[in-house]
Amino acid sequence: MNLKDLFLAQLDREAILTRKAVERVPEGQNGFKPHDRSMELGYLAALVAGMLGWITFMIERDELDFSDPSSGEFRPKVLNTKAALLASVDASVANARRALESTTDEHLLTPWALKSSGRTIQEEARYLMIADAVFSHLAHHRGQLTVYLRLAASTVPALYGPSADERF
């Protein structure tokens, strides 16, 4: 199996899990946060809903510099409805799928950099950045979202195993 096919298969699995988590986000609680230093639920939900779209940046651009005005599309915008969150998941997955289908393994081996004000924060082969900065990072924030769901009195979906609210 090549890298592209591996990532397409993983995209399918992650899309299902992400959708399950985002479907549980309660509307009208975007400002909820479990601690003063925590991000708000609305921002976290939008982040999780859109993260798979980061694959598109990593394939179509050679770098992302947070200080560049065009990096604004990389930052999540809080969405007020479950329908808008689910539409964000769907758009992110569709864009990632398009980018992955149009790339090659050779391109996935080339470097991609994350920068801030021209300073390189991290630079690795695209396939490593996709694995770490998208898929692993998404699993972290999706897990964080499930904690918020519990604290916001929503239900927690079974993702990698059963939850107290849902069996397989």
Domain ranges of the chain: 3-151
Distance between alpha carbon 115 and the CA centroid of its chain, in Å? 19
Instruction: Tell me the pLDDT band of 158, cut-offs 50, 70 and 90.
Output: very high
Buried b (16+ CB within 10 A) or exposed e, 105-126: eeebeeebebbeeeeeeeebeb
Tokens standing for residue 103: 């790339």
Asked if residue 23 has pLDDT above 90, the reply is: yes
Residue in this structure with the two tokens 């999540």, named with its chain if needed: 76
Give mean pLDDT, residues 62-90: 87
Higher pLDDT, 125 or 73: 125
Asked if residue 93 has pLDDT above 80, the reply is: yes
Instruction: Tell me the pLDDT band of 73, cut-offs 50, 70 and 90.
Output: low
pTM above threshold 0.75: yes
Q: Hey, what CATH topology would domain 3-151 get?
A: Four Helix Bundle (Hemerythrin (Met), subunit A) (1.20.120)
Between the CA atoms of 81, 85, 90 and 95, what dihedral angle is there, to the nearest 10 degrees?
Answer: 130
